[in-house]
Amino acid sequence: MQTRELGKSGLGVSAIGLGCMGLSYGYGPATDTRDAIALIRQAFERGVTFFDTAEAYGPYKNEELLGEALAPFRDQVVVATKFGFNFDANGGQSGMNSRPEQIRAVADQALRRLKTDVIDLFYQHRVDPDVPIEDVAGTVKALISEGKVKHFGLSEAGVQTIRRAHAVQPVTALQSEYSLWWREPEQEILPTLEELGIGFVPFSPLGKGFLTGAISETTTFDSKDFRNIVPRFSQEARKANQAFVDLLAEIAAHKKATSAQVALAWLLAQKPWIVPIPGTTKLHRLEENIRAAEVELTAEDLANIESALATIKVEGDRYPAHLQARVNR
φ and ψ of 271, to 5 deg: -150, 145
Residues of 223-236 as b/e, b for ≥16 C-beta within 10 angstroms? eebbbeebebbbee
φ/ψ (deg, to 5) at 260: -60, -40
Count of CB atoms situated within 10 Å of the CB of 173 = 24
Closest residue by Cα to residue 53 from 72, 16, 79: 79
- Given CA atoms 50, 151, 143, 157 in this order, what sign does their dihedral have? negative
Q: Which residues make beta-bridge pairs with 52?
A: 19, 80
In 3D space, the residue among 147, 124, 146, 145 whose CA is nearest the CA of residue 136 turns out to be 124
Distance, in Å, from the CA atom of 4 to the CA atom of 279, rounded to the nearest integer, reads 19
Catalytic residues: 57
Q: Is the peptide bond before 231 cis (omega within 30 degrees of 0)?
A: no
Q: What is the largest CA-CA distance in the chain?
A: 54
Question: Which alpha helices (H) appear in 71-156, and where do they start and end?
Answer: 100-113, 133-145
The end-to-end CA distance of the chain, in Å, is 35
Report CA-CA distances (Å) from 236 to 168, 233, 240, 274, 315: 45, 8, 6, 32, 9
H or E segment and range at residue 149? strand 149-155
Candidates 241, 275, 245, 271; CA nearest to 260 is 245
The residue among 196, 198, 225 whose CA lies nearest residue 26 is 225
Q: How far apart are CA 143 and CA 316, in angstroms?
A: 40
Residue type, 234: S
